[in-house]
Amino acid sequence: PRPILLTRHGESRDNVRGRIGGDTALSESGEIYAKKLANFVEKRLKSERTASIWTSTLQRTIITASPIVGFPKIQWRALDEINAGVCDGMTYEEIKRNMPEEYESRKKDALRYRYPRGESYLDVIQRLEPVIIELERQRAPVVVISHQAVLRALYGYFADRPLEEIPHIEVPLHTIIEIQMGVTGVEEKRYKLMD
Ligand code: F6P
């Protein structure tokens, strides 16, 4: 059986300020996570010479992957975070205050709500299709370092969760979700590497 390890990037500077989207580097605690993750991956996949590390094209995932050595790394644009369009760089408070109607429509239906000039969860799910096909084709373990909305969609697919639940699945920072596809279905383990 070969594992797929899913993780968000280490905490980013925008995470600290509560800003969505963006392309910032890591906070100090995010940097520590990157090192702990590298340690974990090197131990967990020691004997797996063909494993690979997949990131998005945003610097917070690339930086998170950088302490991991000895495995090929691939960047996928399809693993980039949900595009928040005109709301990119805002806090949820600012959206609520400046664009209350957008805020309310998203709250009512986060699956279908599409940010003006951005994406919805359904859009993200659709663009992940080639990633999912490639993940299913791989025989070796893969470490996917991506973002909250994208990982909700990927995890929701593998864990066979109903679409409506996807925007609400918990995918905390600094936690590795390991999934294994077995004959009896999907087995899951979570490793919380720091608080
Ligand atoms: O806040 C981190 C983040 O990755 C944002 O960049 C993104 O817009 C958001 O999470 C997605 O989560 P939600 O759908 O709950 O807003």
Cβ-in-10-Å burial (0-12, 13-18, 19+) of 182 comes to exposed
Band of residue 2 on the pLDDT scale cut at 50, 70, 90: confident
Give yes or no: 9 in active site.
yes
Those residues with Cβ within 8 angstroms of residue 169's Cβ, 6 or more apart along the chain or in another chain: 152, 155, 156, 161
- Please tell me the distance from the alpha carbon of residue 48 to that of residue 140, in angstroms, as a whole number: 7
User: What is the distance between the alpha carbons of residues 36 and 67, in angstroms, rounded to a whole number?
Assistant: 9
pLDDT at 183: 81
d(Cα 12, Cα 65) in Å, to the nearest integer? 13
Could you read off the pLDDT of 135-186 as tens digits, one per residue?
A: 999 999 999 999 999 999 999 999 999 999 999 999 999 999 999 987 888 8
pLDDT class of 195 with cuts at 50, 70, 90: confident
Placement of tokens 């595009």 in the chain: 83
Q: Which DSSP symbol is given to 86?
A: G
The phi and psi torsions of 180 (rounded to 5 degrees) equal -130, 130
Which one of 19, 60, 127, 152 is the catalytic residue? 60
Q: How far is the centre of ligand 1, averaged over its atoms, from the C-alpha of 183 (Å)?
A: 33
Beta-ladder partners of 19:
91
Question: What pLDDT, on a 0 to 100 scale, did the predictor assign at position 176?
Answer: 98
Mean pLDDT over residues 123-137, rounded? 97
What is the ipTM, given to two decimal places?
0.99
Over residues 30-88, the pLDDT tens digits come to: 999 999 999 999 999 988 879 999 999 999 999 999 999 999 999 999 999 999 999 99
Strand pairing partners for 186?
181
Among 20, 154, 171, 174, residue to substitute to test ligand 1 (most atoms within 8 Å of Cβ) = 20
pTM assigned to the model = 0.97
List the Cα angle 21/27/32 in 5-degree steps: 125
- What is the phi/psi pair of residue 44, to 5°? -65, -35
83 is catalytic: no
Average pLDDT over residues 17-26: 98
What is the reported pLDDT for 181?
82
- Judge whether 93 is annotated as a binding position: no
Give the phi and the psi of residue 95 in degrees, each rounded to 5: -65, -45
Find where tokens 């859009």 sit: 123
